[in-house]
Amino acid sequence: MKMKIILNMFLLNVICVFLSVLFLMLVLTFMSDTRAEDDLRSRTLSLGKTLNYFGQDLNHISAHETTLGNIRITIISQSGDVLYDSHAENLENHADRPEIIAAFNYGQGGSKRYSSTLAQQTFYYALRLESGEVLRLSKTTSSAVFTVMSILPLSLLVIVINFIACLILSGRLTRRIIKPINDIDFNKDAEIYEELSPFMRKIKNQEQQIQEQFRALEDKADTIDAIITNMREGILLLDRNQIVLAANKSVSEFIKNNLDCTGKNILEVVRDLDFLDCVKKALSGERCNLTISDDGRATEVFFSPVLSNEKTDGLIILFLDVTEKKNAEKMRREFSANVSHELRTPLTSILGMAEMLDEGMVKKDDTGGFVTAIRNEASRLLELIEDIIRLSELDEGNSGSRISMKEEFDAGLAAREAAERLAGLAAEKEVKIIVEADENCVIKANKSFIEEMLYNLTDNGIKYNKAGGEVKITVSVRKSRVKFIVSDTGIGIEPEHLSRIFERFYRVDKSRSKKTGGTGLGLSIVKHIAEHHGGSVDITSRAGKGTSVTVRI
């Protein structure tokens, strides 16, 4: 492109020079013709004076021929006949010639005639002599057109030569000029041409700005991609034609499709009619929500149109797994129902027995038994309320200083204290308690919660054991982690109940649990205490062989 520009400039200069020379030649030719006319006029007047003075002596005319050179001398009579001509003989009558007519009428006159055949022009000037005859001088010169045409081939040759020279020189010159610019390294502060320095600085600044903006865009794109890719929620982006523009990995878990859906129509990816109906509504500009339940999993889908100038350009579909939320809501409903039921049972017993005592329907000998029953039911009610409060504290993760307090204590000693507290119950049930603990089992935890955990596990081991059985508490420390194992030789648990054993108010045998005085919240409290300390609970059991609960903290 730059080479063409330079070449065009050279050609334009050549053409301008050629036109200038041509114009100059025309001007010079015009000036030469003017001078020729003036010279011819002055010579005619001079010769006329001579002939008027000396008469028409041929000797004088011959003498003037040598001084006039190629100027033609003609003497014309009053009738127009040629009396003398220095260049020809027997010429026709000249009475009709313009210059002759002007000389007879006005004393002198001139004219100019052009010969296209000879490409020449002749200047004529006539003077009427005192004798009444006319003296005419003429001079023939080449015409301006002939002059121009005569030099045109040479001019064209010069133009062609100049064109070739310009082509070669412009190519070399262009390469010389452009090479340093093409070899510019914007990473170095090299000065190519002083005139281009501001331009180069501006380009370098713009390049740096573009690179910074590009890096910023790349960082934003990487950040967005990392966020979307690692989101548990599924995201689908559709255009106005329902073509999938982007989808993260989590989408495949929700739509049950492991293939790459980018670039495909949503009809190829999802076949659910309710889902596709929401897609159409959203593309029409209407927001839509949908809940899908499948294999015990609940997914909430949000369809949000992307608007631009009040027109829908695309669609964002967000998949949220709300299974835990639904399960939590279900558990809360079940917990409320269970709490109501568990509280109603002892309260009903207490109310019934109190009414019987108040109305005197109980014999004096039986009053003690009723009072004992009321006390037992009240104690069970109080125990149930305390367990519910404890679970509520653990659920909220805040029970004041009691939960937040961490203290160092001997876990083995806590196990022995739990065994001592339950020694009376164990003796009543004819169950033996064994405690095995590593030396120096010092841990940093909430002591009251750990003690309650051990108490609940040991209490269950005693209550659901057989006469002559045993409960073994093992405490060990491995790499700053403490493991508690409470195992018994009791009735055990059927396999189908193990997955739900830690649920609130869940009982394997409701009638037996009520007889033993359990609230159905003990194992749930144990699980919450372990999770509160960042630990875990595992249970293994065989029906009729016993149960083993392992807590790692």
Q: How confident is the model over 425-480, as pLDDT tens digits?
A: 899 899 999 999 888 888 888 888 888 888 889 988 898 888 889 999 999 988 77
Give pLDDT, residue 512. 46
- Contact in structure between 126 and 134 (CB atoms under 8 Å): yes
Average pLDDT over the chain, rounded to whole?
78
Residues 240 and 138 in one domain: no
Lowest-pLDDT range of 25-34, 152-161, 297-306, 416-425:
25-34
Specify which of 332-336, 338-342, 468-472, 508-512 reaches the highest per-range mean pLDDT.
468-472
Give pLDDT, residue 470. 92
* DSSP reduced 3-state for 304: strand
Asked if residue 177 is part of any domain, the answer here is: no
Lowest-pLDDT range of 88-92, 136-140, 301-305, 466-470:
88-92
- Contact in structure between 76 and 133 (CB atoms under 8 Å): yes
Report the CATH number that the domain containing residue 346 is assigned in CATH.
Answer: 1.10.287.130
Q: What is the mean pLDDT of residues 378-405?
A: 62
Give pLDDT, residue 126. 92
Read off the tokens for 29. Answer: 């030719």
Asked if residue 486 is part of any domain, the answer here is: yes
Give pLDDT, residue 40. 84
Residues 74 and 92 in one domain: yes
Interval 52-63: pLDDT, tens: 877 666 555 665
Lowest-pLDDT range of 161-170, 289-298, 317-326:
161-170
State phi, psi for 286 to the nearest 5 degrees.
Answer: -105, 130
Residues 288 and 351 in one domain: no
Residues 36 and 126 in one domain: yes
Specify which of 35-49, 106-120, 185-199 reaches the highest per-range mean pLDDT.
35-49
pLDDT band (50, 70, 90) for residue 152: low
Q: Which residues contact 342 (CB under 8 A, 6 or more apart)?
A: 384, 505, 519, 520
Determine the structural domain holding residue 279 and report its residue range: 231-321
Residues 421 and 523 in one domain: yes
Q: Alpha helix locations (H) across 359-479?
A: 364-396, 401-404, 411-421, 423-429, 447-463
- Report d(CA 474, CA 490) in Å as an integer: 17
pLDDT band (50, 70, 90) for residue 189: low
pLDDT band (50, 70, 90) for residue 401: very low
- Report d(CA 448, CA 404) in Å as an integer: 12
- Report d(CA 334, CA 505) in Å as an integer: 9
Using alpha carbons, select from 73, 68, 78 the residue that is nearest to residue 88: 73
Of 125 and 199, the one with more pLDDT: 125
Residue 307: how many other CB atoms lie within 10 Å: 11
Residues 373 and 482 in one domain: no
Read off the tokens for 71. Answer: 């100027």
Domain boundary among 306, 321, 336: 321
Asked if residue 23 is part of any domain, the answer here is: yes
Of 532 and 127, the one with more pLDDT: 127
pLDDT over threshold 60, residue 402 = no
Residue 402: how many other CB atoms lie within 10 Å: 11
Domain boundary among 294, 321, 348: 321
Residues 431 and 475 in one domain: yes
Distance of CA 208 to the CA centre of its chain: 19
Give pLDDT, residue 322. 83
Torsion, CA 181, CA 187, CA 193, CA 198, rounded to 10: 110
pLDDT band (50, 70, 90) for residue 303: very high
Asked if residue 461 is part of any domain, the answer here is: yes
Report the CATH number that the domain containing residue 463 is assigned in CATH.
Answer: 3.30.565.10
Of 64 and 198, the one with more pLDDT: 198
Report the CATH number that the domain containing residue 69 is assigned in CATH.
Answer: 3.30.450.20
Asked if residue 300 is part of any domain, the answer here is: yes
- Contact in structure between 138 and 83 (CB atoms under 8 Å): no
Q: What is the pTM for the complete model shown? A: 0.41
Interval 258-274: pLDDT, tens: 667 788 888 888 888 88
Specify which of 125-129, 148-152, 494-498 reaches the highest per-range mean pLDDT.
125-129
- Domains held by the chain: number: 4
By DSSP bridging, strand 432-437 and strand 407-410 are unpaired
Interval 80-123: pLDDT, tens: 888 888 877 778 888 889 999 998 899 899 898 876 555 578 88
- DSSP class of residue 265 equals B
pLDDT over threshold 50, residue 146 = yes
Tell me the Ramachandran region of residue 470: left when phi exceeds 0, alpha when psi lies from -120 to 50, beta otherwise.
beta
- Report d(CA 271, CA 20) in Å as an integer: 83
- Report d(CA 56, CA 74) in Å as an integer: 12
Asked if residue 167 is part of any domain, the answer here is: no
- Contact in structure between 71 and 136 (CB atoms under 8 Å): no
* DSSP reduced 3-state for 405: coil
Q: What is the mean pLDDT of residues 130-139?
A: 88
Residue 166: how many other CB atoms lie within 10 Å: 20
Residues 484 and 547 in one domain: yes
pLDDT band (50, 70, 90) for residue 511: very low
Residues 9 and 142 in one domain: yes
Lowest-pLDDT range of 2-11, 146-155, 177-186, 212-221:
2-11
Asked if residue 166 is part of any domain, the answer here is: no
- Report d(CA 388, CA 503) in Å as an integer: 13
Residue 478: how many other CB atoms lie within 10 Å: 9
Using alpha carbons, select from 311, 306, 323 the residue that is nearest to residue 236: 306
Residues 308 and 374 in one domain: no
Asked if residue 252 is part of any domain, the answer here is: yes
Q: At what angle do helices 411-421 and 447-463 cross, to 10 degrees?
A: 40
pLDDT over threshold 50, residue 382 = yes
- Report d(CA 418, CA 461) in Å as an integer: 12
Residue type, 204: K
Give pLDDT, residue 294. 77
- Report d(CA 462, CA 464) in Å as an integer: 6
What b/e string do you get for 109-127 counting C-beta neighbours within 10 Å, with b at 16 or more?
bbbbeeeeeeeebebbbbb
Lowest-pLDDT range of 49-58, 120-129, 183-192, 350-359:
183-192
Q: At what angle do helices 58-68 and 2-54 cross, to 10 degrees?
A: 160
The helix, strand and coil proportions of the chain, stated in percent and rounded to the nearest 5, come to 55, 20, 25
Using alpha carbons, select from 249, 283, 255, 289 the residue that is nearest to residue 269: 255
Residues 317 and 331 in one domain: no
- Report d(CA 37, CA 139) in Å as an integer: 9
Q: What is the largest CA-CA distance in the chain?
A: 198
Interval 13-36: pLDDT, tens: 666 666 666 666 666 666 667 787
State phi, psi for 368 to the nearest 5 degrees.
Answer: -60, -40
* Cα separation values, 199 from 182, 190, 192, 203, Å: 14, 13, 11, 6
Residues 431 and 362 in one domain: no
H or E segment and range at residue 72 = strand 72-76
Give pLDDT, residue 432. 92
pLDDT band (50, 70, 90) for residue 408: confident
Give pLDDT, residue 158. 74
pLDDT over threshold 60, residue 143 = no
Give pLDDT, residue 399. 43
Give pLDDT, residue 517. 52
Give pLDDT, residue 384. 67
- Report d(CA 193, CA 171) in Å as an integer: 19
Residue 32: how many other CB atoms lie within 10 Å: 14
Domain boundary among 392, 417, 449: 392
pLDDT band (50, 70, 90) for residue 485: very high
- Contact in structure between 140 and 120 (CB atoms under 8 Å): yes
Q: Which residues contact 492 (CB under 8 A, 6 or more apart)?
A: 541, 542, 543, 544, 545, 546, 547
